[in-house]
Amino acid sequence: MSGMRTGRGRAARSKRRPRVGILATGDHWHVAALAGALRRAGCQAVAFDGRRLSGRVGGTGRDGIHADHLGLADLDALLVRFIPAGSLDQIVFRMDALHLLADGGLPVINHPRAIERTVDKHWTSRLLAGAGIPTPRTVVAEQAADAQRAFREMGDVVVKPLLGAGGRGICRVSDRDVAYRVFRALEAQGAVFYVQEFVPHGRSDLRLLVVGGRVVAAARRHGNGWKTNVAAGARMTSHDPDRVETDLAVRACRAVGAEVAGVDLLEADDGRMLVCEVNGIPGWSALERATGRRIAEEVAALVIDRLGAVPARAVPASVEAAHVRAARVAAARAEAVR
């Protein structure tokens, strides 16, 4: 049946090396790193382009989701490393394909629901707050007047795109006239306003990478100002997280349902420790350089754990390691205009 993983199929797969798909675009460093780690763990890595998906329902040939001639339901697990930009239709189709695969029993890391939750900053913030995890005050609205009201309440705010990563499109606003111009300009673009209180925290914050419920690497990000994103020029130094930091990062991942995620912590000048963001498809090249951790090996170990059997060549972990539709539509719109 379409997308279903039958007992016969599982038995056949048990006689060969597990095949793990890597959804990405192009031959990027993380694809090569993950493919190598998976091979060392006794798996066969199969990278494919997320823009090459197709679905077949009935008729001649095989039902299910494919990437060119690769039947994705025949994989043993799937790592999602990149959701390519595209039109509304393309993004919705790609996310629906991932949902169909996960619903059919394929281990998908991260689960498409977690990807949707973390790409939408409002959804992330609400889930964090609902789980009792400290996070900055935030107002999300479609009307400039509501954004202005939020600015007057908080006085000093950070305005972010509802979707996106790397610190792009983020600005700090503390002047009323500037706020008026910023909000009117964003309103003209049809943007959703994500207005968050500015939390004084010096010129650094923390990035903790969680894999399978464990913090496997952590670093302090040093910026030239209040922005500390590596993509914006910040540098990283290795950090040894304490129990509070580790607990917050693991709880944040649990709140959004992510098995692999980068969690950003703010050390506020007033003593608070806040979870600022959770990245469900995190990069780790700078983090790996700063810490010396072999993060791809940790992800491969998670895959082996999810498969439920450790091949003889497996590499063990080396360190200590609806709303759904609305979020998908919002993500699609943002990607479509990039």
For residue range 145-176, what is the model confidence (pLDDT) as tens digits? 999 999 999 999 999 999 876 566 788 999 99
Residue 129 is assigned to a structural domain of this protein: no
pLDDT for the residue numbered 60 = 62
Same domain, 65 and 86: yes
In the chain, the largest separation of any two C-alpha atoms, in whole Å, equals 67
184 and 216, same domain (yes or no): no
Residue 216: pLDDT above 60? yes
| Structural domains in the chain (count) | 3
- CA nearest neighbour of 111 among 79, 136, 85: 79
- Identify which of 295, 281, 326, 307 has the alpha carbon closest to the alpha carbon of residue 114: 281
Supply the range of the domain harboring residue 260. 204-293
CATH assignment of the domain containing 240: 3.30.470.20
Mean confidence (pLDDT) of the chain: 85
What is the average per-residue pLDDT within 111-129?
96
* Predicted structure pTM score: 0.83
The upper half-sphere exposure of residue 31, i.e. CA atoms within 13 Å in the direction of its Cβ, equals: 14
**Per-residue pLDDT at 106:** 95
**Better pLDDT: 324 or 24:** 24
Q: Residue 102: its pLDDT value, please?
A: 95
Residues 6+ apart with CB under 8 A from 187: 143, 144, 193
Give residue 25's pLDDT band: very low, low, confident or very high (50, 70, 90): confident
Q: Which string of DSSP letters, residue by residue, matches 260-294?
A: EEEEEEEE-TTS-EEEEEEESS---HHHHHHH---
CA 140 to chain CA centroid, nearest Å:
20
Among 19-28, 244-253, 265-274, 285-294, the range scoring the smallest mean pLDDT is 19-28
- Cα dist. 16→11, 76, 161, 231 in Å? 10, 11, 45, 41
Contact 303, 297 (CB under 8 A): no
pLDDT tier for residue 63 given thresholds of 50, 70 and 90: confident
- Note the pLDDT of residue 232: 65
pLDDT, tens digit, 9 for 90 and up, residues 189-209: 999 999 999 998 888 899 999
The DSSP 8-state label assigned to residue 19 in this structure reads E
Residue 1 CB neighbours (<10 A) = 9
CB 255 within 8 A of CB 238: no
Domain annotation covers residue 279: yes
